[in-house]
Amino acid sequence: MMAVEALRRVVRSHPDYTIAWVAHDGAEAVKKCAADHPDMILMDLIMPVMNGVEATRHIMQDSPCPILVVTATVDGNISLVFEAMGYGALDAVNTPVLGTDGKLTGAQALLRKIEIIGHLITRPAPMSPAPMSAAATLESGAPPMAKGNLPLIVLGASTGGPAALADILSRLPAVVNAAMVITQHIDKEFSADLALWLGTHCQLNVKVATPGCRPETGTVWLAGTNDHLVLTKHGTLEYRVEPAKCFYRPSVDVFFKSVAAHWSPPGVAVLLTGMGRDGGEGLLALRHCGWRTLAQDEATSIVYGMPRAAAELLAAEKILPLNAIADAIMQGIEERKTKPV
């Protein structure tokens, strides 16, 4: 198969990478992973016998392993990408294409994804942005926005996040009298499709945030690039490259801290399933500003990394199972409306 050969060439082009085995269907991948556990699996989605979603589910249940979804095409199959991520796949990237002239297209994108995942899984406490982060200090000294703004709901997620977000959004009412912004670790190539996919699970309007847009009722804005989404002192959403060395892109910490600096009155912040510690410090900053802060519990998290960080920092007022978070969000918004801040 051309796709397998393309992957072989890309992996072998890196001096530190070796190929442990190749499986030609999902069932074979499950068996081989159990017998010979690799450092990472590059998982296709469209395979005979058992597709990549089911293979991911079985592997993460029986012999957990970092999985990067590598798919030749997402046309008509985008839901499979997010379903696989819901079972624990860490990220997704388009399969490199091997041309008739022998040249590879897309090799660097795959190598970069492998590097990032390798960094995250070998460093349990990766670098967090400095307090308030470079993104926020660009506008240091700016006063908080005037009271009277809309209530704001902010959510951050990583591994397992798409499915968790879909669950929460599906439980919210069709009309939410609050603005909402989501930061999910996902490559920009998939953010527009994630917005569409989340929209099929709820009655809300989910859209990718564009530079200059504002949090508003009736729209759920989703971070949509490999740069960091921030809230500016002007109340607009923008993207920032800095902190450039932060492997979490877009970073939940960067966004939450910018919200703590520039949004008033306090709203509701939620940190969901994910690998690493991104979001814990940002959630704590919001709690210190009077926000209602929630984190997903261990039992319902695909990876209890980010919520654990929040719990250890005492950043979350409540640690809840996934199916209780939507109600807690609405309760928090109602409290924000009826209580002085």
Give 134's pLDDT tier (boundaries 50, 70, 90): very low
- C-alpha to C-alpha distance for 291 and 260, rounded to whole angstroms: 9
pLDDT tens for 222-239 read 999 989 999 999 999 999
| Omega prior to 265 cis, within 30 of 0 | yes
Give 340's pLDDT tier (boundaries 50, 70, 90): low
pLDDT at 293: 98
Angle at the Cα of 209 from the Cα atoms of 203 and 215, rounded to 5 degrees: 70
Sole residue written with tokens 């920092």: 313
- C-alpha to C-alpha distance for 250 and 257, rounded to whole angstroms: 13
CA 237 from centroid of its chain's CA atoms:
18
Residue 112 structure tokens: 């970069």
Domain with CATH 3.40.50.2300 in the chain: 2-122
Contact between 255 and 105 under an 8 Å Cβ cutoff? The reply is no
pLDDT tens for 151-198 read 999 999 999 999 999 999 999 998 898 999 999 998 888 899 999 999
Q: For the purposes of burial, counting CB atoms within 10 Å of the CB of 6, is it exposed (0-12), middle (13-18) or buried (19 or more)? A: buried
Domain with CATH 3.40.50.180 in the chain: 133-338
Contact between 153 and 293 under an 8 Å Cβ cutoff? The reply is no
Sole residue written with tokens 């879909």: 166
Contact between 214 and 107 under an 8 Å Cβ cutoff? The reply is no
Quick count: other Cβ atoms within 10 Å of Cβ 2? 12
Angle at the Cα of 278 from the Cα atoms of 65 and 302, rounded to 5 degrees: 35
Provide the CATH topology of domain 133-338. Answer: Rossmann fold (3.40.50)
Active-site amino acid positions: 158, 185, 278
CATH architecture of 2-122: 3-Layer(aba) Sandwich (3.40)
Element (H, E) at 208: strand 205-208
Widest Cα–Cα separation across the chain: 68
More confident residue, 142 or 334: 334
Asked if pLDDT for residue 258 goes beyond 60, the answer is: yes
Name the CA dihedral angle for 221, 227, 229, 234, rounded to a multiple of 10 degrees.
-120
Contact between 257 and 156 under an 8 Å Cβ cutoff? The reply is no
Rg (CA), the chain: 20
DSSP state of 303: S
Residue among 117, 141, 137, 121 nearest 129 (CA): 137
Residue among 169, 154, 151, 158 nearest 322 (CA): 169
More confident residue, 93 or 36: 36
pLDDT at 146: 45
pLDDT tens for 12-68 read 999 999 999 999 999 999 999 999 999 999 999 989 999 999 999 999 999 999 999
Contact between 246 and 222 under an 8 Å Cβ cutoff? The reply is no
- C-alpha to C-alpha distance for 187 and 90, rounded to whole angstroms: 11
The verdict on pTM exceeding 0.85 is yes
Sole residue written with tokens 């949509």: 224
- C-alpha to C-alpha distance for 107 and 122, rounded to whole angstroms: 23
CA dihedral (25, 29, 35, 40) positive or negative: positive
pLDDT at 123: 58
- C-alpha to C-alpha distance for 19 and 14, rounded to whole angstroms: 11
